[in-house]
Structure 1
Amino acid sequence: MRERRIYLLDPRRYRPEVIAVAFAKTSRSPEPFDVIAESLSEETASQFHEKWVVGYGHASVAEHAVLHIAFENISRLAAEAIEGVRLASFTEKSTRFQILDRESFYVPPEIAASPFQDAYRAVVERLFETYHAALEPVGRVVEAWFPRRPEESEKAYRTRLRIRAMDVCRYLLPTATLTNIGMTVNARALEHGLRKWLSHPLEEVREIARAVKAAALQEVPTLLKYAEPNAYLQTSTARLQKWAQALPEGPVPRDGVRLVSWDPDAEVRFIAACVYRFRAVSFEEALAWARGIRPEDRRGILEDALGGRSPFDIPVRELEHIVYTFDCLMDEGAYYDLKRHRMMTQTPQVLTTAYGYAIPRAIEEAGMGARYRAAVEAAMALWEAMRPAVGEAAAYVLPNAVYRRVLMTMNLREAYHLCRLRGGPNGHFAYRYIAMRIYEAIRAVHPTLAAYMGCEGYPSSGEIAAQFGGVAHQEEAHVVERS
């Protein structure tokens, strides 16, 4: 009997393209992986990729070449495009833990070359000045709201208060705000990302893409060299925009979350999927059986499938057969956090002033309401003025306070994860509100399945809205009338 071997191919010893070839060759070579790797040079690895990955389209081989890419001082608007790569891992500079200085913003070339450059700088600087001016008075408000816990040290308490204050003041930060991102990605996913970024309407994103490609080619000289702008991505967007002009824009409901599509038979479908893998039956037969069993048997199957989990246990995969679609309205800051849930499908609308903006309750109680409104509305007015001249680049001036509509389709397993993670009391109140609205919507149509989501002890969406404000709850959006 042959000895089992489990080991690492050390990336400090082998280049990413060599590791990828070593794994690829195992399909036809009886040699161990480390022996194959030792037999390869960078040149022979490149020749292999040129022939099999590029020439014959065996793109899965490129998934074994992994890169760690650092992005520094890019705008949050560009970061939104970068983080759109689904099969990658990201860690980003947080506005909850770092106070941003007044120079932490980007001036895009589209605006720098326009007559709006000075106005843009003035409006963005005003947003940052208001952000800094709000930190201290908002801090006093949250200190009154959140007394020190008996077991909490003074240092921990001050840290908690600072986070709470920055959660409020971040509404003033524009999408031009600079951020840093760490990205871990395989070469196949990165090539797809590069094609999207190189085809993006924003010049900043295209510049970043060219810089990423140049840096990545130092490690994977073959797998990414053919990543170029994609005509399909560029032209399909323009064609769809033309069709969209025929869609009339009417009065818009400003409620934060609306469940617009779900399966009335979700419970039966889930039960059928759970038993399907254990018996030689068709799915139609499993569905018919699940529909016919007694209610107490249904409850028993649900308990055996979903009960007894710790907070760290991922529920069974069969939940992924249950799908929901939500039409959501949230501030840009909340979307920026929730966009990281890439297991779901998200279709965000372009940033606009059409839905108004959010005002957190702490801003009003801190006596900053008038100054906050003036700064946000100045940014929105400049967006209106710039957009005909600079197109999508006008969005750089819009702050996190602006509401944005997003279509979100997710399976129930992802909903379990999203609602439990984002609905908890330690998170930002804006995305907590969205998570709890999603949970409450699922509970309304599928109460038995929702009972296992682990959110029943969290404050409700109504309680979050009442405590913090700043969410699209029952027509709370502040709308600026267009002239």
Structure 2
Amino acid sequence: MSEQFQRQIYLLSPRQLSPETIAVTFAKTSRSPLTFREIADELTDEKSAEFHEKWVVGYGHASVAEHAVLHIALENISRLATECIESNRLASYTEKSTRYQMWAPGGYHLPREVVGGSREPIYRKCCDRLFQAYHDSLEPVGRLIRKRLPRKEGESDSAWENRTRSKYVDACRFLLPAAALANVGMTINARALEHAIRKMLSHPLAEVREIGQTIKEVAQTEVPTLVKYADQVPYLTATREDLTAYAAKLGLDRSNGSLRLIDYDPEAESRVMAAALYAHGTCSFEQALAHVRLLEEGARLDLAKTILERLDRFDIPVRELEHATYTFEALIDQGAYLELKRHRMMTQTPQRLTAKEGYAVPKLITEAGFETSYREAMNAAVEAYHELAGWNPHVAAYLVPNAFNRRVLMTLNLREVYHLCELRSQPNAHFSMRRLALLMAELVQQVHPMLAAFMRLPEMTNWREIEEEHFTQV
């Protein structure tokens, strides 16, 4: 084979080329016979900007912008603001964890909407009280955990603290309000970032709009063309306002149950099996589905085993599982939701965070003798929330602690069910998420027992035991 046709695989390094130039280099290969290196050598930042202005902005070839990738560091933003930022599916995020770090006193966001007004003292008093209760809880709950997990022989102070910290911080975090500050690292391509900025600039909270504007300015130092037209979207703001007014007429329905399976395809198992056969054969899907429908129980089980039985610990199930979808409504504490929202291979529709759905009480809080102080802090948060909610429910949400329940509608496929349930049911996961994951697995196993039977879940554990062990109240 001539040298011209030898396989070549190499990096276009962002240390040498700007993100916009890399994007143009890849875009031009569709019409240029040159190698990527040769294309890049012909480009300058100015030529790249001109290309994007003409083709991406002018003609709408937005996929080109996906080759321009940015790594954005966001520090001291509220946990409430992270919800909008991390709602963008096509990005990667790492966030300061409430499980492994402790929040410093006063580490909360003061929204522009209340600064200098009569509501600022109400807001500050509530946040200060919640943070004080959080810090007051650390010592008694930590002491209880250290008593239950004594120092091992030869174990250093720091090693012992690291081993026990998440156990008691997991319970104390329920006191932190949504205003608590966090850091987030985000890796995102310019196309997705433009969409994210538009959502942020259209958000009802001033903090989120300001973050969106700053991200836009920071991003333009690397991709000056690709996000410069990201602006507020009137469609988003007007639609949100009208739907909020309409939905208010429906009132408040206090549904029971922390997780309900409200929709699924009864024939999804057959469809998944048929899709798996279709992928490796030459028949039509209708033919494969008709075949599976005629299989006896034993033969169907054998086919399910062929598809899933060989899964090893780190294996990802075949994509055909995505043909089975489920819709759940969850009523979970805000702390659990902040972990659930990271599972972006699903469609999530959360309701606005409020203090109207009750709150959870971790059993460790009770056993450490801190329940009275805990409930007093929760009641104070409810009172402050309602004082602000009549004026601005979006701002009032900052005051809602992680303990309060929130409703979330989510639609996900069986492949994501496997991922979520296997990951979040492990012993090292937070007990709120373990409870949710094991309940989800149980509900799916009830309707699709053959395909759900191969989930790699911890043995001898169920969600009822976790609820009994870890919660005084849910």
Give the TM-score, by structure 2 length: 0.96
Partner residue, 2:52: 49
Partner residue, 2:371: 369
CA contact (8 A) 1:175 1:397 kept: yes
1:180 to 2:183 alignment:
yes
Pairing 1:427-438 to 2, within 5 Å after superposition: 427-438=429-440
Work out which of the residue numbers 161, 165, 169 in structure 2 matches 1:166. 169
For 1:286 and 1:144, the matched residues in 2 are separated by 60
SS at match of 2:109: coil
Partner residue, 1:454: 456
For 1:327 and 1:400, the matched residues in 2 are separated by 19
Residue 121 of structure 1: CA displacement?
Answer: 0.8
1:247 to 2:244 alignment:
no
For 1:458 and 1:3, the matched residues in 2 are separated by 55
1:264 to 2:275 alignment:
no
Partner residue, 1:352: 354
Deviations 1:246-282 (A, max 9, x none): 32324x1332111111111122111101001233333
For 1:423 and 1:370, the matched residues in 2 are separated by 30
Residue 236 of structure 1: CA displacement?
Answer: 1.1
SS at match of 1:5: coil
1:75 to 2:74 alignment:
no
Partner residue, 1:197: 200
Residue 283 of structure 1: CA displacement?
Answer: 1.9
For 2:460 and 2:429, the matched residues in 1 are separated by 12
Runs (5+) with no aligned partner, structure 2? none
Work out which of the residue numbers 126, 129, 151 in structure 1 matches 2:129. 126
1:98 to 2:101 alignment:
yes
Structure 2 vs 1, CA of residues 143 and 253 (structure 1 numbering), >3 Å: closer, same or farther?
farther
Partner residue, 1:410: 412
User: What amino acid does structure 2 have at the position aligned with 1:267?
Assistant: E
SS at match of 1:399: coil
1:221 to 2:221 alignment:
no
For 1:220 and 1:5, the matched residues in 2 are separated by 28
Residue 158 of structure 1: CA displacement?
Answer: 2.9
Residue 146 of structure 1: CA displacement?
Answer: 4.4
User: What amino acid does structure 2 have at the position aligned with 1:223?
Assistant: L
Residue 113 of structure 1: CA displacement?
Answer: 4.0
Partner residue, 1:111: 114
User: What amino acid does structure 1 have at the position aligned with 2:317?
Assistant: P
Residue 153 of structure 1: CA displacement?
Answer: 7.3
Work out which of the residue numbers 320, 329, 332 in structure 1 matches 2:331. 329
SS at match of 2:329: strand
Pairing 1:257-406 to 2, within 5 Å after superposition: 257-406=259-408
For 2:22 and 2:394, the matched residues in 1 are separated by 41
SS at match of 1:301: helix
For 1:312 and 1:70, the matched residues in 2 are separated by 30
For 2:240 and 2:122, the matched residues in 1 are separated by 30
For 1:143 and 1:387, the matched residues in 2 are separated by 40
Residue 51 of structure 1: CA displacement?
Answer: 0.5
User: What amino acid does structure 1 have at the position aligned with 2:281?
Assistant: R
User: What amino acid does structure 2 have at the position aligned with 1:376?
Assistant: M
CA contact (8 A) 1:135 1:165 kept: yes
SS at match of 1:112: coil
1:135 to 2:165 alignment:
no
Residue 354 of structure 1: CA displacement?
Answer: 1.7
For 2:256 and 2:171, the matched residues in 1 are separated by 21
User: What amino acid does structure 1 have at the position aligned with 2:470?
Assistant: F
Structure 2 vs 1, CA of residues 387 and 289 (structure 1 numbering), >3 Å: closer, same or farther?
same
User: What amino acid does structure 2 have at the position aligned with 1:23?
Assistant: F
For 1:58 and 1:192, the matched residues in 2 are separated by 15
Of 239-248 and 37-46, more deviation after overlay is shown by 239-248
Deviations 1:224-243 (A, max 9, x none): 10000001111111121122
Question: What number of residue pairs does the alignment pair up?
Answer: 471
For 1:146 and 1:243, the matched residues in 2 are separated by 53
User: What amino acid does structure 2 have at the position aligned with 1:261?
Assistant: D
Give the TM-score, by structure 1 length: 0.95
For 2:417 and 2:165, the matched residues in 1 are separated by 30
CA contact (8 A) 1:268 1:290 kept: yes
Residue 423 of structure 1: CA displacement?
Answer: 0.8
Structure 2 vs 1, CA of residues 317 and 151 (structure 1 numbering), >3 Å: closer, same or farther?
farther
Of 455-464 and 222-231, more deviation after overlay is shown by 455-464
Partner residue, 1:24: 27
User: What amino acid does structure 2 have at the position aligned with 1:249?
Assistant: L
Deviations 1:306-338 (A, max 9, x none): 112211110000000000111101100000011
SS at match of 1:272: helix
- The alignment's C-alpha RMSD in Å is 1.6
Structure 2 vs 1, CA of residues 177 and 458 (structure 1 numbering), >3 Å: closer, same or farther?
farther
Deviations 1:116-152 (A, max 9, x none): 1112111111111111111111012223444667998
Work out which of the residue numbers 71, 83, 87 in structure 2 matches 1:84. 87
CA contact (8 A) 2:425 2:458 kept: no
CA contact (8 A) 1:425 1:458 kept: no
User: What amino acid does structure 2 have at the position aligned with 1:18?
Assistant: T
CA contact (8 A) 1:424 1:458 kept: no
Residue 285 of structure 1: CA displacement?
Answer: 1.9
1:62 to 2:65 alignment:
yes
* Aligned residues with identical type, % of pairs: 51
Runs (5+) with no aligned partner, structure 1? 471-475, 478-483
For 1:426 and 1:172, the matched residues in 2 are separated by 21
For 2:445 and 2:121, the matched residues in 1 are separated by 50
For 2:35 and 2:120, the matched residues in 1 are separated by 60
User: What amino acid does structure 1 have at the position aligned with 2:465?
Assistant: E
